[in-house]
């Protein structure tokens, strides 16, 4: 194997383990490096397995295709709806960031 490839894999694992929480906010299952995950763009910054997020495959594809789309977990969505404020200018649903 290419040494650069191994260095990149090692770096991505370091970044993954230092940035990602250890478990999914919904199911409490541990994350592995290969697990598809999504981070809440709301107040909590919690991480979820994409399968635990409640997003349809069409919504997941839309989020992957457009980096301006944000996902907010149900808890933050309810909180933002109740308080009518959102962190920064982010909307409390799959919306476009400004």
pLDDT at 93 over 70: no
The larger pLDDT score, comparing residue 60 to residue 86, is at 60
Q: Is residue 20 very low, low, confident or very high in pLDDT (cuts 50, 70, 90)?
A: low
Q: What is the pLDDT of residue 36?
A: 85
Could you give the C-alpha distances from 29 to 15, 32, 34, in angstroms and in order? 19, 10, 14
pLDDT digits (tens, 9 = 90+) for 25-35: 999 998 887 77
Tokens of 10: 């090692």
Domain residue ranges in the chain: 3-96
Distance CA 94, CA 59 (A): 9
pLDDT digits (tens, 9 = 90+) for 40-52: 888 887 888 888 9
Per the CATH hierarchy, to which homologous superfamily does domain 3-96 belong? Zinc/RING finger domain, C3HC4 (zinc finger) (3.30.40.10)
């Amino acid at each position: 194997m290419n040494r650069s490839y191994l260095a990149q894999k090692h770096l991505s694992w370091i970044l993954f383990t230092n940035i990602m929480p250890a478990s999914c906010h919904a199911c409490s299952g541990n994350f592995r490096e290969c697990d598809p995950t999504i981070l809440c763009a709301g107040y909590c910054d919690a991480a979820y397995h994409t399968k635990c997020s409640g997003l349809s495959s069409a919504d997941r594809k839309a989020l992957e295709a457009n980096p301006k789309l944000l996902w907010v977990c149900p808890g933050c969505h309810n909180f933002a709806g109740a308080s009518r404020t959102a962190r920064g200018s982010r909307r409390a649903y799959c919306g476009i960031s400004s």
